[in-house]
Chain A
Amino acid sequence: MNSKPKADAATKATVSLPTKNGITLKVNGAVKQIEIAPWTTLLDALREHLGLTGTKKGCDHGQCGACTVLVNGKRITSCLTLAIMHDGAEVTTIEGLAEGEVLHPLQKAFVEHDAFQCGYCTPGQICSAVGLLREGKAKSPEDIRELMSGNICRCGAYANIVAAIEQVSRMGERGDEE
């Protein structure tokens, strides 16, 4: 696979422009049908096609975690995956965590602990923390730090982020139950 000539790839890519594809996603409980190109990432599908701009684009290379969402209950970086590959999947974004005016316990804890400054990384941090609590592997603040290492906070609110997650973890909250 690695030995395929690159020139060949470039030439072929210019001669066949694929049409858009229809896919169905269940986003925050609602069934959505969208037409997307094969190269549309899940992140771009959520933001540009579904208007769900809560999920942020940070590095766009899976390094910062700002785009973290839950797909079929598992946290992933939505920038590093193609929407077309998730036809039929259930996606939960930051917009899907609160129930009406009632904040998700993690959202509440982030407010209580002042677990952000600029807030840009916060949707990804919270979605990642929902995934972390569901996984049930974090038993200590050290575990939380290690298992949140895929979410970068440029403001450096890490201490408060860990405290917020730890508080919800001790409450036995397992994340949003749909």
Chain B
Amino acid sequence: MNSFSYTRADDVATALREVAADGAAKFIAGGTNLIDLMKENVERPSRLIDITRLTLGGIRPRSDGGLRLGALATNTDVAYHKEIERRYPLLSKAILAGASPQLRNMATVGGNLLQRTRCCYFYDTATPCNKRTPGVGCSAIAGFNRAHAILGTSAACIASHPSDMCVALAALEAVVRVTGSVGERVVPFAAFHRLPGDTPNIDTNLQADEIITGVDLPARGFAEHHAYLKIRDRASYAFALVSVAAALEMDGNTITEARLALGGVAHKPWRDPQTETMLHGQSATRENFKRVAEALLRDAKGFGRNRFKIELAKLAIVRALSQASFKEAHS
């Protein structure tokens, strides 16, 4: 780890001032990803601004019937919160499918959104990586890429976003609240993370002088018909090869609304709202689920070792939708 200076911010304005004053400064909260990357010399901040004492925790009801998750609420706080368990079980299950209890006790909502999209080559400073050093090339495209993305990739980067929580937030159409030097703004979840394009070094659309203050959940939580299915190499504590957040509204056996978000397959939680509408007005049958799965993966591209993910994702989508279509999902 490089040497750095440390300050603790007591309010958001101070935190923003401090980060603006030093282009190589970073905020730290849970630190579970940042410190790990610092130990590998991948992240080398000149200054860490500790934001853990800001009053950005808690989970509160919103006037529109939704909930606001404070940026500093821990993964554990959110996953086991009574209202989240009751109204947004998809989110609770996704969070509990990720990391370990120790990490969930440290990791925050804001930090989960800002963890780096990454791969083994990003971590390995002995290998070229466009995400670490733009322009030097991608070691994964012709390398060990079993865990890598199959959708939305570019010639510069095929890393996949590892979050489970963000997959559920994408399906729930959460809204990210951000404060910066020019004031507050809200970012729809789908617009928060970026595809790699030719700037894989930039993971999100958060600006350098901005801080996440919270994440808003809309009133609808799809508690009756949902599933979070995570396929991974071991039973627990591993990143998804493929994960699926499925949320349905149903009238009898007819689907009136469908949401599908995929994890482990792209540089960001993957959604294709246009394709989801294929299910609207359709009955919950395996054939219909297969059709939407085929459509969602129509542009998928494998890179050798990760080619199996294309078929795996289709099967996972069908299974997640089947689970979600039953009342009280068995995920």
Contacts and interface: CB of A to CB of B under 8 A. Distances in A.
Interface of A: 1-6, 8-10, 12-14, 16-18, 21, 37-39, 41, 60-62, 65, 68, 74-77, 80-82, 84-85, 128, 131-132, 135, 137, 145-147, 149-151
B5 A65 contact: no
B6 interface: yes
16 contacts: A1-B204, A8-B23, A13-B2, A13-B4, A18-B3, A39-B1, A65-B102, A68-B102, A74-B105, A80-B35, A80-B103, A80-B106, A131-B101, A135-B101, A150-B100, A150-B101
A62 B43 CA distance: 17
Interface string B117-136: 00000000000000011000
B5 A149 contact: no
B173 interface: no
A128 B102 contact: yes
Given A3-B199, A76-B105, 18 more contacts: A3-B202, A4-B24, A9-B24, A10-B2, A10-B44, A12-B47, A18-B3, A18-B4, A39-B3, A41-B35, A74-B76, A74-B105, A77-B102, A80-B32, A82-B6, A128-B102, A150-B99, A151-B100
B164 interface: no
A38 B6 contact: yes
A151 B101 CA distance: 10
B154 interface: no
Nearest to B199: A3
Interface in B39-63: 39, 43-48, 50, 52
Given A21-B6, A38-B4, A149-B237, A65 B100 contact: yes
A12 B3 contact: no
B80 interface: yes
Interface in B238-271: none
Contact of A77 (B46, B103, B204): B103
Contacts of B48: 38, 82
Main secondary structure of the interface of A (DSSP, over half): mixed
Interface in B49-94: 50, 52, 76, 80
Interface string B126-152: 000000110000000000000000000
Contact of B31 (A65, A81, A150): A81
Contacts of A61: 36, 39
Interface in B182-229: 199, 201-204, 206, 208
B231 interface: no
Contacts of B26: 1
A68 B114 CA distance: 24
A135 B76 CA distance: 10
Given A85-B31, A85-B52, A147 B1 contact: no
B35 A81 contact: yes
B102 A62 contact: yes
Interface in B1-35: 1-6, 8, 19, 22-24, 26-28, 31-32, 35
B101 A6 contact: no
B31 A76 contact: no
Nearest to A40: B1
Nearest to A8: B24
B236 interface: yes
B230 interface: no
A143 B22 CA distance: 45
A39 B203 CA distance: 25
B190 to A, nearest CB: 18
A129 to B, nearest CB: 11
B116 interface: yes
Contacts of B4: 13, 18, 38-39
Given A3-B201, A39-B3, A12 B106 contact: no
Contacts of B206: 1
Contacts of A14: 3
A9 B44 contact: yes
A77 to B, nearest CB: 5
B48 to A, nearest CB: 7
Contacts of A8: 23-24, 46
Q: Give the 4 A-B CB pairs with smallest separation, nearest first.
A: A150-B100, A12-B46, A149-B236, A38-B6
